Chains A and B, each alone.
Chain A
Amino acid sequence: MDWDKLVQLLVNGLTLGSVYALVALGFSMVYGILKLLNLAHGDVLMVGAFIGWGILGWLGGAQDPSVAVWLLIGLMVLGAMVGCGFLGVAIERFAYRPLRRAPRIAPLISALGVSFFLQNSVLLLFGANFRSYETFDLVDVEVGIHWGPLNVWAIRIMVVVAAVAMMLGLWLLVTRTRLGKAMRATAFDREAAAMMGIDVDRVIVKTFFIGSALAGAAGVLVGLVFGQINHFMGFNYGLKGFTAAVVGGIGSIPGAMFGGLFIGLAEALSVGYIEDFTRGRLGSAFKDLVVFLILVLFMLLRPQGIFGRPEVKKV
């Protein structure tokens, strides 16, 4: 058994998983409240990654940053969160709100349009080339934890810590604050919530802001850890985020976290071991197949996900 490899894969899986969890959270929150699959969520992440890249370039780039590194990273994450938050609000206002009373398929098609529009707009503005954060120049690879087989780069630690902190913050927000209470009430029964004096539209707008801000932060984290971003990156993260939300149980916050980590670990481990298991017949690109099979298995055996409750149809 090659312990070094296993440890490295687990670290990879945790990093990837925390990003997926952040995406899954935003997706799950919106679904919980509006019963709407926000197919453009992955592209919001992509826009966040580009905002972070823009701020990085504006503050001098990775080689020669004009402010302290921690401050730079903080500003990138914050900028992306605010930018994407407002983007999310705009998407809700213009693409989804006019369709509140439309047949269920209408907002989904609208979401497809938004997704396509965002992707091609970024392609138009920045071109098709991969852009690099050049994080290795920002934080040296050697900085981090080195302990036996465990070698973790500082950026990876930061990603996991940041993701966990944001999830905890969100959990506190939803369980402890008035807004959280309103969100839970709206998710439970929108009409009844409105009758109890909750401004449902405002709750929805705030939900979109928070969910999209999380996706924006995830975009910057992806850029920092994996270095390269392009206009089509949102597709993959969106898809895996959806899968994570479904596996964890859609509408549930611990479910989204757990699902994200689960999918991240599954993907990382299959990258590492799929060649060994299939004796070289399938390459590491087939990691997506593993994730897909997990999704299908969950659909067949436990469609409500790990933490979800079975849906009861109301007549």
Chain B
Amino acid sequence: MAEQPRIGVDEWVAQAEERRARTVAARLGDLLDRVPPALRLLAIALPLALYPVFVDSEYLMQVGIDTLIFVLLALGLNVAVGWVGLLDLGFVAFFGLGAYLYTALASEYAGRHWDAQFAIPLIAVVVGVTGFVLGLTSKRLLGDYLAIVTLFFLQIYLVILINSSFTRGPNGISSVLPLEFFGKQVTSLDGYFYVSLVVFVVVVAVLYLINQSRTGRAWRALREDELAAELMTMPVDRLKLMAFAFGAGVAGVAGAIFAPIQGAVFPANFDIVLLITVYAMVVLGGAGSLLGVTVGAVLINASLEALRSPEDASWLFYGVLVVTLLVMLRPWWRGPAVIAATIAFGVVAHEAAGQVRASLVGGTSFGEARIDHLVDTWVLLPENVVTPDGLPTGALGRLAYIGFIAAVLGLTLVRSSLWRTVGLVPVLYLAACVWENLLVAQPAVARFVLIGAMLVALMAFRPQGLFGKQRVEIV
């Protein structure tokens, strides 16, 4: 290629490609970039289309559909958060709005049954316009204040849903009718999976085209430097509002599919917990990358499902711990060394505690899998860890939890790499103690604790997520 004039590129940016070329992952990524986008989309969608053929468990089908809905949500949130860099905390309200609008158009409660090919586009437009209007309120200070206004909007939306007799309050509306395309009803889970898949493909295609368009480029320019973009005569406010409305529209579509799948809508479906989960998906996958947020949504939803049962959760916990150690620690022998040391440390600690007081190690793990029986003889488990109502009685678990957080935070302050690795050993053992004593007993809470911690850690150590491109601060 001929030497092109490179305007506005400084040394650091000019060398960016050279730096990237050094890593295997980056070279693979470049190779992937050469595949035409339509083929890439097909390569993801086709195997997914086979999912219902090979899976016959109803539970797994449900998980698959949920995952697709989550993917849609993550894709919608990515428009505002990843491409434009706006913190939209009312996003889930638009999802809810879509679901309730579908209920208004097709339920026994409303006494109507619109065809989905009319209902879904209408909902997308209405929800998008709502997003636009909401964004208008903070037009003069579109920035941080948008976060407050949108968060408050979510709160108001929930207050209205819960307290209004029109939406039947917290009991929700449970007579939502199934999707109906051109007079044909979608009745099976497989059918809903395919509908979600088609919507996914359409949404990805539309978002991809927008991102490649003038608007998409303007969005990214805006994210990198708002002032410069404005000086280049870009209509900054309008672009932000557009992004906001667009994300809202995608959320509305997701809601319109979600309502008939669940067959009912409840205010509790659209709360802060869902919001933060979707944020975690976008951030983990890499804000700004369509493939990234899709993978992020799949990963997070799959792990959340796995964390539901204590047995799977334990496998996941120890597995992720071991893999992370092996991958992250350099040089390579440090990972196995730390694992071995931790096991040895545990055996010694368990033995010592048993000598001091037998009741300290008399308990049994909450789980039933083989790994849990192994763990019984290794982790400090006081007797009566778990009361019948599932709450830990022992103060040990709570103390260990607080101590563990303090220890992890303290460990990040240790400068020397060697001592940090040495310090890992007791911290890992403490992690296992906390896990067995406290977290396993309450998987529903534990998974959200993990999500919160993951968000903070990701932001500090890898803000670009798994697939995002690292952004360089422009001073």
Contact = CB atoms under 8 A, between A and B. Distances in A.
Q: Do A and B make up one complex?
A: yes
A116 B227 contact: no
B242 to A, nearest CB: 18
B137 interface: yes
A98 B458 CA distance: 11
A235 B454 contact: no
B58 to A, nearest CB: 30
Contacts of A95: 456, 459-460
Contacts of A296: 137, 149
B148 A124 contact: no
B401 interface: yes
B227 A315 contact: yes
A103 B85 contact: yes
B469 interface: no
B118 interface: no
Interface string B131-144: 00000011011011
B156 A289 contact: yes
Main secondary structure of the interface of B (DSSP, over half): helix
Contact of B145 (A102, A110, A303): A303
Main secondary structure of the interface of A (DSSP, over half): helix
B61 interface: no
A186 interface: no
A110 B137 CA distance: 25
Q: How large is the interface on A (under 10, 10 to 19, 20 to 34, 35 or more residues)?
A: 35 or more
Contacts of A299: 137-138, 140-141, 145, 149
A285 B162 contact: yes
B174 interface: no
Contacts of A98: 459-460
Contact of B144 (A108, A118, A124): A108
Interface in B140-159: 140-141, 143-145, 147-149, 151-153, 155-156, 159
B137 A108 contact: no
Q: How large is the interface on B (under 10, 10 to 19, 20 to 34, 35 or more residues)?
A: 35 or more
A309 to B, nearest CB: 13
Contacts of B153: 292
B448 A116 contact: yes
A109 B283 contact: yes
B148 A246 contact: yes
Contacts of B34: none
A98 B159 CA distance: 36
A120 B227 contact: no
26 contacts: A94-B409, A94-B412, A99-B463, A103-B223, A103-B473, A105-B86, A108-B144, A110-B459, A112-B279, A112-B455, A113-B451, A113-B452, A116-B276, A116-B452, A118-B452, A120-B445, A124-B439, A124-B449, A125-B401, A235-B272, A243-B148, A289-B160, A292-B156, A295-B152, A299-B141, A303-B145
A296 B398 CA distance: 42
Contacts of B145: 246, 299, 303
Interface in A23-60: 31, 35, 37, 39
A99 B86 CA distance: 17
A123 interface: yes
A15 to B, nearest CB: 22
B113 to A, nearest CB: 29
Contacts of B85: 103-105
Contact of B449 (A117, A243, A311, A315): A117
B442 interface: yes
